[in-house]
Chains A and B, each alone.
Chain A
Amino acid sequence: MNDIIINMRGIVKRFFIGQPNELQILHGIDLVVKRGEFIAIVGPSGSGKSTLMNLIGALDRATLGSYTLEDTVIEAARDAELSAIRNQKIGFVFQNFNLVPRTNAVKNVELPMMYGGVNMRDRNRRARELMDMVEMGERLYHQPNELSGGQKQRVAIARAMANDPAIILADEPTGALDTATGRLVMDIFHSLNREQGKTIVLITHNKELAAETNRILTMSDGVFV
């Protein structure tokens, strides 16, 4: 099995191409992440972190350069294939949780499996296991607005793990949490990385949290420094 999970070469991202306000955000990024790595990407606002994350997460395609995720060439993929890649290979954890409203916790965890075509019984069983893993087994049927920030983020992590993705992509996962809760969330990431060998890409402002990871990449003006 290939040991390299993310292989980005000369990634350039431009917006408003051909218009007067054309804007280049990424200026040739090279990024290689191995299976089981826990890396942090840090940098000031506007340095291109979010744009890079969108590219890693297959939410967007690069203007130039090549990106191979496991064995899939992203720039060649069509929209429907990108959806399938996001569904199967990537687990998103957002700063503001993004749980689907009016949908209880366990159903939220089931969502990626629903889109992945897992049958109802299997996905419910898997969702319960994942909820137990993040110690939310007691709150399966709570609506998102009945959960605290930390609880929401734990549900979101369980959801990110649903289809056993190749990487977990966490965008400021502790940004909306207090220090103690943030600590708890980081501990979950550490244990996922250590015990299940999950590859984790953490994007953060927080230098202390970044220091806990295997490798820190600092971005500035669209390049790693």
Chain B
Amino acid sequence: MNVYENVRMAWEGLKANKMRALLTMLGIIIGIASVIGILTIGDGVSNTVAGAMGSLGASNISVNLQRRSSDIPGNRRIFVTEDDRITEEMIAALVERYSEAIAGIATSRNVGGGQVRDGRDYANVGVTGINDGFLEVNAVEMLRGRTFNERDLDRGRNVAIVSDRLVNNMFDGDMDVAIGQEIAAYVGAAIYPFVIIGVFEHEMTVFNFTSAAERDISTPLYIPITTAQRILNAPDGYTTLTVAAVNTVDSTAFADQIANFLNRYYTNNEYFFIQTMSMESMLESLNTMLATISIGLSVIAGISLLVGGIGVMNIMLVSVTERTREIGTRKALGATNGNIRVQFVVESMIVCLVGGMIGIFLGSVMGYIGTSIIAVAILPTTQSIAISVGFSLGIGLFFGYYPANKAAKLDPIEALRYE
């Protein structure tokens, strides 16, 4: 009496009672389908986010000016003053100290959101002053024209690098026409003229996702950082900058070194200090968070598996009662308690396995549709399929054992007499 024979016997038993078998499986189907669906969608989201962050530069380290405590007693000072800012001198010292580890440094200054207008044409923009390292560090891809040169930066010229979206809105997508044109940017009450010198590709990612109409999507309009400082009449120094580490450097460890280095300038600053974070560690914590959410949701879906398992046990108990005479007969013909136990456990496992497979199929469909809405459609991993199959069998074993044991322990005489 081998496994194959038990499986065949169980399969024939199920075929004889299709409707009941299907209803029994329903809980398992729903449970497995939800777990698979959730895990797949979770994977899809985390792939997309990781991809988007990677495209921003996986080896980037963000350096931020942070308040020491949110609860400063006495004379509260919450605004950044000129003394607190990260200065050009600090940056220069940093670059000198770690010249072999730094691939580039990006600083920027936000001028404000506004609109470029020309008659009835318009494009929403965020005017941002950037330094010479910004485009490379942030992996901005140039489509046409040039980037800022030393003279643009030194003199604070009114030149701009615009997005392909702006070119679409204002110049019917003709980049060659756009370059050299003067545009008027309306920011707040002011109007600033800029000459377009280059066009970059604006990519939509999960980070700049917006519900705005295609035409109204706001894109950056880059100007030299010196120009921005002149416009804003702002003090020197920065509150935030991005350091791109060279590929061979462990960016998480390097982030700590940068913090230690820069914080020497802040030992006497009561209110502010420098905090750094590598994209890598951000990615890691983001992935951890997504995984936690996935697991949390899966646990909830797992409850339906539990309910499904109890359903299987219930039906198996009914089945044992219904087949008491059959069990008695089998025992009279020489079946041992073990034979009977295995027969019913296998039957319960088959129910759960078939239910699990249907669930995996439905869950894959759910996951595929779900991920195709968010980003790129993916199928569940072989790992999650293997776990689901194992889990289904486990539920069958766990919830089938009690009924099977009850069947095995039936007294053959009583069972044969059962009406």
Query: Does B173 count as interface, using CB distance less than 8 angstroms?
Result: no
Given A59-B413, A94-B416: A83 touches B12 (CB 8 Å cut-off) = no
Interface range on chain A: under 10, 10 to 19, 20 to 34, or 35 or more?
20 to 34
Residues A114 and B5 in contact, CB atoms below 8 Å apart: yes
CB pair B334–A98 under 8 Å, yes or no, is: no
Expressed in whole angstroms, the minimum distance between the Cβ of A115 and any Cβ of chain B is 4
Contact B413 A115 (CB under 8 A): no
Task: Identify which of residues 312-347 in chain B touch chain A, using a CB-to-CB cut-off of 8 Å.
Answer: 325-326, 328-339
B311: Cβ under 8 A from any A Cβ = no
A54 to B413 CA separation, bound complex (whole angstroms): 7
Write the nearest CB–CB distance from A156 to chain B, whole angstroms.
10
* Minimum C-beta distance from B274 to chain A (A): 76
Q: Are A159 and B413 in contact (CB under 8 A)?
A: no
Chain A residues in 8 Å Cβ range of B413: 54, 59-60
A100 to B330, CA, bound (A): 8
Q: Is the CB of B337 within 8 A of A84?
A: no
Question: B12, B328, B412 — which one has the most chain A CB atoms within 10 A of its CB?
Answer: B412
Contact residues in A for B338 (Cβ distance below 8 Å): 80
Indicate whether A59 sits within 8 Å of B412 (C-beta atoms), given known contacts A98-B329, A102-B13: yes
Residue B92 interfacial (CB < 8 Å) = no
Among A84, A98, A112, A120, chain B packs the most CB atoms within 10 A around the CB of: A98
Cross-chain contact B16 with A83 (CB below 8 angstroms): no
CB distance from A154 to the nearest CB of B (A): 17
Q: Is B373 an interface residue (CB 8 A)?
A: no
Chain A residue nearest to B412 (CB atoms) is A59
Question: Smallest Cβ distance from A101 to chain B, in angstroms?
Answer: 6
Chain A 83-101 per-residue mask, 1 if CB under 8 angstroms from chain B, else 0 = 1101110001010001111
Q: How many A-B residue pairs have CB under 8 A?
A: 65
Is there an interface contact between B332 and A92, defined as CB atoms closer than 8 Å?
Answer: yes
- Give every chain A residue within 8 A of B333 (Cβ-Cβ): 86-87, 92, 111-112, 115, 159
**A101 vs B332: C-alpha distance in the bound complex, in angstroms?**
15
A57 interface hit (Cβ, 8 Å): yes
Query: Interface digits, B1-15 against A, CB 8 Å rule (1 contact, 0 not)?
Result: 100010000001100
A103 proximity list for chain B (CB < 8 A): 12
Within the assembled complex, what's the spacing in Å between the Cα atoms of A98 and B418?
11
**Inter-chain contact B325/A115, CB cutoff 8 Å:** no
Q: Which of B16, B334, B337, B416 contacts A79 (CB 8 A)?
A: B337
CA gap between A83 and B338 in the complex, in Å: 10
Q: Is A115 within 8 A of B334, CB to CB?
A: yes
Interface string of B258-279 (1 = CB under 8 A from A): 0000000000000000000000
Is the beta-carbon distance between B332 and A102 smaller than 8 angstroms? no
Bound-state CA distance A80–B338 (Å) is: 9
Contacts of A57 in B (CB 8 A): 332
* Across-interface contacts of A79 in B (CB, < 8 A): 336-337
Query: Which residues of the partner chain A approach B335 to less than 8 Å between Cβ atoms?
Result: 83, 87, 115
Closest to B13 in A: A102
The answer to whether A18 has its CB under 8 Å from any CB of chain B is no
Check A116 against B12 for contact (C-beta < 8 Å).
Answer: no
Contact of A102 among B12, B330, B336 (CB under 8 A): B12
Residue ID in chain B nearest A92 by CB atoms: B332
**Which residues of chain A come closer than 8 Å to B16, judged between CB atoms?**
102
Q: Decide: A117 and B12 in contact? CB cutoff 8 A.
A: no
Cβ of B1: which chain A residues have Cβ within 8 Å of it? 114-115, 117
Q: Which residues of chain B are within 8 angstroms of A92 by Cβ–Cβ distance?
A: 332-333
Q: Which of A32-57 contact B (CB under 8 A)?
A: 54, 57
- Interchain CA distance A115-B1 in the complex, whole Å: 6
Write the chain A residue with the least CB distance to B328: A98
Chain A contacts to B: CB under 8 angstroms: 54, 57, 59-60, 79-80, 83-84, 86-88, 92, 94, 98-103, 111-112, 114-117, 120, 159, 163
Q: A83-B337, A86-B333, A94-B416 are in contact. List 8 more A-B contacts (CB 8 A).
A: A54-B413, A79-B336, A79-B337, A87-B333, A98-B328, A112-B334, A115-B334, A115-B336
Q: Which 9 A-B pairs have the closest CB atoms?
A: A87-B334, A83-B336, A115-B334, A98-B329, A102-B16, A112-B333, A86-B334, A92-B332, A59-B412
15 A-B pairs whose Cβ atoms sit less than 8 Å apart in the complex: A59-B412, A59-B413, A59-B416, A79-B336, A83-B339, A86-B332, A87-B335, A88-B334, A100-B326, A101-B326, A102-B12, A112-B334, A115-B334, A115-B336, A115-B339
